[in-house]
Amino acid sequence: MENNLKLPKLLKEFEFEVERGKIAEFAKATGADDIEVYMSKKAAIEAGYPDVPVPLTFGTVPEMWKGLDFECIIDDFKLTLTRVLHGSQSYTYHKPIFAGEQLYGKTFLVGMKQRKGLSIYSFETVFINEQADLLLECKSVVIERGEGR
């Protein structure tokens, strides 16, 4: 683990268009409640939305398709895959996200620490829209167990 990095460190910038098909696939895969709202613009409008909204944990989709995915983290930080754990994931929505929006993402390394033989890496991805409104923050923690743990 490098201790001389200045944090937060920008790791990746990317763009992602929110597509209805991706929303529908994700809603089905995650067993979202009120599934029809995620499947059809008509159902979304009838439910009071201007278009198809994204499910709550949808932030994972642009991160995996265009952002700094798990394999990149393993490679970039020279981690040993068999000792890596996904520590946590959280999402904070500042505004709703709908089909057709263009997202602009930035992923940062925001923390690195050693604790009881563990290397702990904290990441944050922020998403804004074309008007530069903050829409979503995704936070995650990756842990690498030390030798013999």
CATH no. for residue 118?
Answer: 3.10.129.10
Considering the domain boundaries, does residue 33 fall inside one? no
**Residue 43, domain member (yes or no):** no
Instruction: Quote the pLDDT of residue 84.
Output: 95
Q: In what order do the strands lie in the sheet with 9-17?
A: 9-17, 102-115, 118-128, 134-145, 84-93
Asked, for residue 1, whether it belongs to a domain, the answer is no
Q: Give the chain's residues under pLDDT 70.
A: 1-3, 148-149
**pLDDT tens for each residue of 20-43:** 999 999 999 999 999 999 999 999
**Pairing assessment for the beta strands 118-128 and 102-115 based on DSSP bridges:** antiparallel
- Which domain does 70 fall in, by range? 9-19+54-145
**138 found inside a domain:** yes
Number of domains in the chain: 1
Q: Is residue 37 part of a domain?
A: no
